[in-house]
Amino acid sequence: MKYTVTVFICSKTEGTQTPHRYFHGSLFYIRLRLAYYGGYSWCLCELTEYVTGLEMLDKHQVEPQLSTGSPELDQLIGGVQRGLFYFFYGDKALMETLFQHMTVQALATNNRGKPIVVYMLLGNYRKERTNLGLEELAELMEDSGFHMWEALQRVQIFTASSADQQVLLVEGLIRLLMEEENVSLVIVRGIYKLARDDPRIRNRHVVYEEVQQSINSLRNICAEKRIPIVASGRDSEAKTKRKPMPESSLFLRHCANVIIYLRKRGRVSKYNRAFLIDHPLKPLGSVEYHYRVDFKLGRETKPFRMSYQEMVDKLRKEFQAPLRSENRRTAFDQLVQAWSDELGAMSYAESFKMLDLMILVSMLENRGLLEKLSDKFESLERRVTRLEDASM
């Protein structure tokens, strides 16, 4: 059973009983928020809803879920559900690839339009470098049917290199959520890394408190907004024959709803393997997984003539204008005429990618050479005609 409570908070300094702030959520969430706003003297609680556990389970199962980009991993964890905290740990390269695929999946248009993905990079670069893998991410976006620049503009990147900066990221996320209602995913690389890698030597207990405070605040905000959190962490340094545990395993095991360990493939394995360590609904287990790229994921259905005109205008501005050769710019105009003549046949073609542009450059080069040869041939033909006329 779950009680949902609306809490109205009044400040003891105002001297009135007019509430100026309220929260709506579970009793556990309300206790956390009241602890955060410790300067308030009293509150009014109103029981607004009574929900059974079975109703909550049915509600979560019918909600649309995000994909990890891997059919096997989706089957193992049941997809990425809204409002839950997913914690992955294991090999660093596996995390980077996973988050690239999840970012692309979360950028797909939903019922509220084109969403935004928040990507947080945490870590002290003097201890360990944390990279976004921008080139691989951009290539994956194009392969999935997105316009690269438009999709990258919808990825909001936050960075922090110390624990106190990690606390400030939560305030930055709050400001973003006030401006953007359609945030589909929050990704946090190295969520507990700064607890160990913070450059401060003294008062290490303050560092741990700041990291844990930021994680709790981030979890509460995203749970309130029904935004899933996907975070990564490192293995524990403790040696064990079993699956390794993450850094601060007790704290993260308490905070995270779903915990998954990723391990590189062995000598006899075809793919990498994922182990489900903890999940509120799914049975624990493991599976080998691979990724599947959906080339139609980011494609918008537009009239072909409109898409064609947009592409030509973009090529004129970004490709034809910078060309150094006037002959090639003229050849481009002639190709546009040829494309327009064959617009019906071109409607069956795929959209332009890097390989298409490379082929286009080759076509323009060949077209320019043909124009030069044609001019020389016509000049020679005129000279031969004059010589023939003179001899007669």
Which pLDDT tens digit goes with each residue over 335-369?
Answer: 787 777 777 666 665 555 545 655 766 677 788 88
Whether residue 375 has pLDDT greater than 90:
no
What is the reported pLDDT for 331?
A: 83
Q: Comparing C-alpha atoms, which of 70, 82, 280 is closest to residue 186?
A: 82
* Element of type H or E holding 328: helix 326-341
**Which residues have C-beta within 8 Å of that of residue 108, sequence separation ≥ 6?**
115, 297, 298
What is the reported pLDDT for 29?
A: 42
pTM: 0.66
Confidence of residue 202 (pLDDT cuts 50, 70, 90): confident
What is the reported pLDDT for 174?
A: 87
Whether residue 76 has pLDDT greater than 80:
yes
16 vs 246: which has the higher pLDDT: 246
**Which residues have C-beta within 8 Å of that of residue 12, sequence separation ≥ 6?**
39, 40, 41, 42
What is the reported pLDDT for 118?
A: 93
- Residue ranges of domains in the chain, CATH in brackets: 2-53 (no CATH), 63-289 (3.40.50.300), 304-391 (no CATH)
Buried b (16+ CB within 10 A) or exposed e, 324-338: eeebbbbbbeebeee
What is the reported pLDDT for 30?
A: 44
Cβ(323)–Cβ(330) below 8 Å: no
Ranking 125-139, 169-183, 223-237 by mean pLDDT, the lowest is 125-139
Confidence of residue 22 (pLDDT cuts 50, 70, 90): very low
Q: Mean pLDDT highest for which of 53-57, 170-174, 249-253?
A: 170-174
Which 3 state secondary structure label does DSSP give 277?
strand
Render pLDDT for 179-191 as a digit per residue (tens, 0 to 9).
888 999 999 998 8
What is the reported pLDDT for 330?
A: 86
Token output for 163: 């624990």
What is the reported pLDDT for 17?
A: 39
CA distances from 170 to 22, 33, 325, 342, 350 (A): 19, 14, 52, 54, 42
Mean pLDDT of 267-272: 84
What is the reported pLDDT for 353?
A: 56
What is the reported pLDDT for 197?
A: 82
What is the reported pLDDT for 104?
A: 92
Mean pLDDT of 39-60: 53
Which 3 state secondary structure label does DSSP give 22?
strand
What is the reported pLDDT for 352?
A: 56
Phi, psi of 298 (to 5 degrees): -100, 10
Confidence of residue 43 (pLDDT cuts 50, 70, 90): very low
Whether residue 6 has pLDDT greater than 70:
no
Whether residue 224 has pLDDT greater than 80:
yes
Confidence of residue 241 (pLDDT cuts 50, 70, 90): low
CA 376 to chain centre: 55
CA distances from 287 to 40, 45, 66, 73, 212 (A): 49, 46, 19, 7, 31
List of E strands, 197-336: 229-233, 258-263, 272-278, 285-289
Ranking 115-119, 165-169, 232-236 by mean pLDDT, the lowest is 232-236
Token output for 169: 């990221």
C-alpha–C-alpha distance, residues 294 and 198, integer Å: 40
What is the reported pLDDT for 335?
A: 79
Strand 21-26, strand 2-11: pairing: antiparallel
Q: How many helices (H) and strands (E) does the chain have?
A: 14, 11
Helix pair angle (204-225, 163-179), 10° resolution: 20
Confidence of residue 178 (pLDDT cuts 50, 70, 90): confident
What is the reported pLDDT for 8?
A: 43
Render pLDDT for 292-320 as a digit per residue (tens, 0 to 9).
887 777 665 556 677 778 778 888 888 88
Whether residue 7 has pLDDT greater than 70:
no
Phi, psi of 303 (to 5 degrees): -55, 140
What is the reported pLDDT for 270?
A: 85
User: For the chain, what is the mean pLDDT?
Assistant: 77
Mean pLDDT of 129-154: 84
What is the reported pLDDT for 15?
A: 39
- The conformation of residue 234, written as its DSSP 8-state character, comes to P
